Amino acid sequence: MNHTLIAVHEDSSKYLSHDQLFIQLIGTFFEEFLELFFPDVHRSIDFSDVKPLSEEWFTDLLEGDHKKVDMVFEAKLKGEEKLIIIHVEPQSYRQDFFHQRMYQYFSLLYNRYRKPV
């Protein structure tokens, strides 16, 4: 029996990273994302007045690292003039100190916008 081995090489540099793909999907389907994963939040949001905020960069003054918050939205609550900040951070891998990073982002976003996060 003659076996032929075929090797296929794909240029993976043309692929979007897993996290970047989710950022694009959530950005496109933000209302549906909240409805599916955070139904209580979804019921409270006035989706006629949701706007993505520019990329948020923060500098860790102790370590000198620059950190980018993936997705930040400003939204109005239904029937109120109150604005809130919604932060979404898609991540495809486990990180031991993820909860600490999220707390840091929460604090930084609150200090910048002075609105509930």
Are 85 and 113 in contact by the 8 Å Cβ rule? The answer is yes
Read off the pLDDT of residues 71-114 as tens digits, 9 standing for 90 and up: 888 899 998 888 888 888 887 788 888 888 888 888 888 888 88
Residue 44 has pLDDT above 60, yes or no: yes
Rounded CA separation 90/92 (Å): 7
Residue 8 has pLDDT above 70, yes or no: no
pLDDT-derived band at 14, boundaries 50, 70, 90: low
pLDDT-derived band at 21, boundaries 50, 70, 90: confident
| pLDDT, average across residues 25-50 | 92
Domain ranges for the chain: 16-113
| pLDDT, average across residues 1-26 | 66
Residues in contact with 88: Cβ distance below 8 Å, sequence separation at least 6, in sequence order: 26, 33, 70, 71, 72, 73
For residue 21, give Cα distances in angstroms to 17, 28, 74. Answer: 6, 11, 21
